[in-house]
Structure 1
């Protein structure tokens, strides 16, 4: 089947966003599978806190910060944090790309987003607050940068 863009004589519309969406969505799916596996391991089918068969809380995961965390809470939050940030970032990247963003620069931005998300994931799983903070703040910087870039790319439409 012919590509609609090629039929119209256009190039690929979103090659950068499309390319980066592949590993990021695979990562998101792996995080979802991890949350499901943790649910099975904890025998907890609803909620985000593991309960053992006798109603007590499981031993938990000891982190370097000295705290003990519920393994199911960690698994569900890691996946939820990815799902809170992945769609908006890919949407902003796609809109920027459609409005003429430089594809090499956009690749760097999406690579940075990928590194920030991995940092956040490692920070949550390993209890590393610096890695988690880097992932959190870095993700927000990427998103604010993308929306600002999009504003610059579309300002002409509004007469600026």
Structure 2
């Protein structure tokens, strides 16, 4: 059975089945992070920005939830697209589906740990934050290395 891409160009199989599969849970979690920011905006009646002036106020003893939620949302948006691009490059160059599935599963777990057990904890300093950070960086470095390994023949290695 063939599928089509672009302007009806036939191919025999989907081009990015692993990356495409993980688009759903990553998008769902990103949407959850976005909705959390909106909830805090409505509760604080602060509809623009992250209300970080409240955080900088010396009299404030706790970091505000809107600021932490905004940072969690932005941090996800800063890291996940590059990881997805690296996974897609590896997959398009013949990457092993089990390796890519493991890497993207780990990445999702690290991003959830970083936020739910890290940034949104009091003062934004839960144990999940360093675990999620270093796990995310390690996963992205692993994906980059794997993608480079898959095209090593291009460089004559």
User: TM-score, length-normalised on structure 1?
Assistant: 0.84
Are the aligned partners of 2:114 and 2:131 in contact in 1 as well (CA < 8 Å)?
yes
Deviations 1:52-107 (CA, angstroms, capped at 9, x unpaired):
9xxxx7x97xxxxxx62111111100100110111111111011000011001110
Are the aligned partners of 2:106 and 2:139 in contact in 1 as well (CA < 8 Å)?
yes
Q: Which residue of 2 is the match for residue 155 of structure 1?
A: 152
User: Residue 126 of structure 1 is aligned with which of 101, 113, 121?
Assistant: 121
Distance 1:20 1:159 in 2: 33
Are the aligned partners of 1:43 and 1:50 in contact in 2 as well (CA < 8 Å)?
no
Which contiguous aligned blocks of 4+ residues in structure 1 show a shift greater than 4 angstroms? Answer: none
1:80 counterpart = 2:82: no
Distance 2:102 2:138 in 1: 13
* Cα distance, 1:9–1:70 mapped onto 2, change above 3 Å: closer
Segments of structure 1 that go 5 or more residues without pairing to the other structure are 61-66
Segments of structure 2 that go 5 or more residues without pairing to the other structure are none
Supply the RMSD in Å over aligned alpha carbons. 2.3
Distance 2:22 2:111 in 1: 13
Distance 1:9 1:85 in 2: 31
Distance 2:151 2:109 in 1: 27
User: Residue 135 of structure 1 is aligned with which of 132, 136, 147?
Assistant: 132
**Residue 117 (structure 1) shift:** 0.4
**Residue 50 (structure 1) shift:** 6.3
1:146 counterpart = 2:138: no
Q: Which residue of 2 is the match for residue 11 of structure 1?
A: 13
